[in-house]
Amino acid sequence: MSVLVPPAALLGNDLEVPCADGRPRRYVNLDYAASTPVLAAVWEIVEAFVPWYSSVHRGTGAKSQISTAAYERAREVVAGFAGAPDGHVVFVRNTTEAVNLLAAALPPGTRVLSTPVEHHANMLPWRRHDVRVLPFTTSADELLEVAAKALPGTDLLAVTGASNVTGEVWPLRELASLAHAHGARLFVDAAQLAPHRALAMADDGVDHLALSGHKLYAPFGAGALVSREPLAGDPLLHGGGAIKLVTLDDVVWAEPPDRYEAGSPNVIGAVAFAAACEALQAIGMDAVADRERALSARLHSGLAAIDGLTQLALWPVHDDRVGVASFTLRGHTAGALAARLSDEYAIGVRHGCFCAHPLITRLLGVPEHESQRLQRELRAGREPELPGAVRASIGLGSTIEDVDALVGALTEISRRR
């Protein structure tokens, strides 16, 4: 298998870290689903831009004009990366802020339909509206069936593009078709989908989409809400830059996107975000997906051979998954297992509930009475141990050696149980 992006193209991919025995080992990064390393090509562009960084939109100096041009060009790049060349981009900090921004802009009482598998970022903001949640499903076909029945009377269908827990890629084109047939719009949380698959908002019929630069090999905390039609509601943040005129008792809001970007924007973050989008497009997202599928197959088959290890899946039979594998190992809590992988093998993974408590509770088979007990303990100010799993996730810098290192470490740990 060819390596399209060698480890040297990612900053920090050659780091060594100390282990519990005092020996340094090469750090094996298998936590791409949380935050990705920085592409060297992105860092070069940021370094070249920083001397020209200045205020945007209202400055008349040369640096301000250059920064404004770079900032506005970043919108075009992100829209193109999302598969909506004519789309409307609002820059935010991350996917979480993008979802909250859209929820705030929608009319009060908007009828939202969602699912119980969502990241909390695509769950909690909708509770300000009239939100309904579909039941858990065991396949993509079942999801489409239950969605078709529940969509009448819905204004917005809000779903993930790919699960950050189990990796399943969702049937967005079919969901968009169903939503539009019932007069609804489709919002997609693409935080986990965007680094692994080509986005095609216009072709798939996606109306709104959120994504984060920190999952796309860009630093500095920039994300975006991309919409095929401009927003028209109230902004999430109120302040300078978002208005045309303010009096002591009234405000005239600016037109989008300025209305939704109050305060001084993260110009360097937007430049880095756009640079990452261009770098990924230069590699080719289809090539990224092909390479990842091969690594992911090796990862899942290796995990399946480990005694006592259980992989988590929402849809057990599903062909398309991003490079995410969540699992438990008999005899080990998630936190202890993750710590052992780090301390003894220099392998970085994530553990816990991955900001998807209802889904993890379902996948781990936590009974209702235990969930209620945990709620009581937490409300009483105590800190009970929560159920959880370990998640390994791969990306541009991952190699066969990284996958084999994890499988080998888990095999040793299981045998020493």
Catalytic positions = 355
Between CA 89 and CA 206 the distance in angstroms is 14
Strands 208-212, 185-189: pairing is: parallel
- Please state, in angstroms and rounded to a whole number, the distance separating the CA atoms of residues 201 and 177: 12
DSSP character string of 359-396: HHHHHHT--HHHHHHHHHHHHTT--PPPP-EEEEE--T
Q: Which two tokens stand for residue 390?
A: 């370990």
Residues found in the chain: 417
Exposure string of 368-387, with b = 16+ CB inside 10 Å and e = fewer, is eeeeeebeeeeeeeeeeebb
d(CA 340, CA 399): 21
Locus of tokens 């088979």: 365
d(CA 23, CA 137) in angstroms, rounded, equals 46
Quote the tokens at residue 416.
């020493």
What phi and psi values does residue 224 have, to the nearest 5 degrees? -155, 150
Query: What one-character DSSP code corresponds to residue 413?
Result: H
C-beta of residue 15 within 8 angstroms of C-beta of residue 27: yes
Which residue, chain included where needed, has tokens 């005092």?
A: 22
Which among 210, 218, 217, 207 has a CA at the least distance from the CA of 236? 210
- List the structure tokens of 120: 């909390």
Output Rg (C-alpha) for the chain, integer angstroms. 22
Q: Are 330 and 416 in contact (CB under 8 A)?
A: no
Closest CA to 319 of 275, 281, 289: 289
Contacts of 64 by beta carbon, 8 Å cutoff, 6+ apart? 54, 55, 56, 58
CB neighbour list of residue 337: distance below 8 Å, 6 or more residues apart: 329, 351, 390, 413
Q: For residues 266 and 333, what is the distance between their CA atoms, to the nearest angstrom?
A: 40
